[in-house]
Amino acid sequence: MGPGETFSFIFFTIFGFAGFNAVLKHRVKMAEIKGPPRGSSVDLATQAAIEELRQEVRQLRDTTMRYDMSFDTALTRMEERVDRIETRAYTTTATSDPLARLRTEQ
């Protein structure tokens, strides 16, 4: 075995073990992130509390959406009313004052 082969063997052995260790640590962390081991189970009270919170969030979303739709409808009605009042005021002014039409056209 020559010095180049010995160096290559030592190099690949050291970095091979380090790489294998890094891959192994990564797989262990990913397994921890995915969830608890199969042997353990989540408490039923905890599951019920989580489901209750989910239901409350759904209800809040529905309520918020209803209020948003109601507000949007009311705003649209107010805009229509203001438009009608402005149109009526402009029409009334234009019919009662013949020079008003000439002033607005300039």
Give the model confidence (pLDDT) of 27-67 as tens digits. 999 988 887 666 556 688 888 999 999 999 999 999 999 99
94 and 79 within one domain: yes
57 and 101 within one domain: yes
Q: Which domain holds residue 12?
A: 1-37
Q: Taking CA 20 as the corner, what is the angle to CA 27 and CA 13, rounded to the nearest 5 degrees?
A: 175
Q: What's the confidence (pLDDT) of residue 93?
A: 62
CA distances from 54 to 24, 33, 44 (A): 36, 22, 15
Distance CA 43, CA 36 (A): 12
CA distances from 31 to 10, 27, 43 (A): 32, 6, 21
50 and 13 within one domain: no
31 and 74 within one domain: no
88 and 52 within one domain: yes
pLDDT tens digits for 15-24? 788 888 888 9
Q: What's the confidence (pLDDT) of residue 4?
A: 79
Q: What's the confidence (pLDDT) of residue 7?
A: 78
46 and 29 within one domain: no
- Number of domains the chain contains: 2
56 and 104 within one domain: yes
pLDDT tens digits for 82-106? 988 888 876 766 566 666 556 655 5
pTM over 0.75, yes/no: no
Distance CA 93, CA 97 (A): 6
99 and 75 within one domain: yes
67 and 87 within one domain: yes
Residues 6 or more apart whose Cβ sits within 8 Å of residue 1: 9
69 and 30 within one domain: no
Q: What's the confidence (pLDDT) of residue 33?
A: 85
